[in-house]
Amino acid sequence: MQEKIKALLKNLRLNESTLSMILGGLVVVVVGILVYNYFSSVNKVVTPSPSPEYQVNLVEEEGQLVPGQLPVTHMVKKGEHLWAIAETYYHSGYNWVDIAAANSLTNANVITEGQELTIPRMAVKPATVIEALTQMAPTIMDTQYTVVKGDSLWNISVRAYGDGYAWPKVWEANKAAVPNPDIVEVGTNLTLPR
């Protein structure tokens, strides 16, 4: 038995370079497969699998709209996130905060496939839309101007000359009253060169 083992080991030593080459080739093939799999999955966007549309029946309670069939338990599917889940049950992604709070999630960005989430009965949070200011401040036509709250040399230059980059001209004419162009005190009388 020992002689057979000695013969086998002697044979392996003679073929050591061949074995090393075969093992090296195997390592290269395995690494190649791993690299291919990595790069073939990098650009894939994971989207949640389409599920039957959840019907949201909104009921008015205490002057607020609330989904009538809540609370329910939701099983997280691959690729889902709290915003999408909130849109499904509330038709408003802004309720993701309520879902995170109801489930005591320490990191709302990390939910896993198969995780069960309680969808609480909460009022629908509508999107907050801030209307843009459509009213422009009045144009300054005089050569004298008294600073009001919220004014800056830039804003004054825009209203007086139609060009905010003209603020150095206003500052040069008023250096005695405005030593620092970043700070313009309310009530300061400015001369606007024409």
pLDDT tens-digit series, residues 86-107: 988 988 889 999 999 999 999 9
Whose tokens are 């019907």? That residue is: 55
Res 50: pLDDT: 47
According to the CATH classification, is domain 58-119 in 3.40.1360.10? no
| Domain 144-191 superfamily per CATH | LysM domain (3.10.350.10)
Contacts 24+ apart (CB under 8 A), 125-133: 125/90, 125/92, 125/94, 125/95, 125/97, 125/98, 126/92, 126/94, 127/92, 127/94
- Residue 163 pLDDT > 70, yes or no? yes
Global pTM? 0.43
Same fold, 58-119 and 144-191: yes
